Amino acid sequence: MALIGYARVSTVGQSLENQIELLQGYGCIKIFKEKQSGAKSNRKALHGALEYLREGDKLIVTKIDRLARSVKDLHNIASQLEDRGIGLVFLKEQIDFSTPSGKLMFTMLGAIGEFERDLINERTAEGRARAIKQGKHMGRPGQPRKNLERALDLFVNREENKISVNDIVKMTGVPRSTIYANAKR
């Protein structure tokens, strides 16, 4: 029986160190790591871990939400492992999926995690809609009009002045896509 760890964070700026320390402390002989959203089911390290596991092994994850962010995905992974005779343990929640009480807690906490994610998405959408309604600009700030006008003047006369679009971008700081988008108007 081997203990195999899986560690995941959602963004590149986040650190896996705490999860790796916990998994090593638990006795994991191999740890699969990745930096990708748990909402995505196509995760290379997770698929690598699932392929690596053999009957009698245990997949060790620090928290339920590190494995998946939807109840459906959690159940799919847990069922797949159970069918193959592989255990599943969540350290923070102290859940061992091989026990009946572990399965119950797993289902309840998975549902709460999905509910929490749905609430976050709902609040974000409401806030975005409110900001747009108030006339607030969403997204990156635009380039100052002065630079854009200069970039467009240079763009229109680029052949005459023997200047490339790359040179215009360097001179004005206006992105190529902005120049082309505004030149078509």
Active-site amino acid positions: 10
Residue matched to tokens 């309840």: 108
Q: What is the DSSP string of the chain?
A: --EEEEEEESSTTS--HHHHHHHHHHT-SEEEEEES-TT-S--HHHHHHHHH--TT-EEEESSHHHH-SSHHHHHHHHHHHHHTT-EEEETTTTEETTSHHHHHHHHHHHHHHHHHHHHHHHHHHHHHHHHHHTT---SSPPPPHHHHHHHHHHHHTHHHHT--HHHHHHHH---HHHHHHHHT-
Chain centroid offset of residue 101 CA? 30
Residue matched to tokens 């797949």: 80
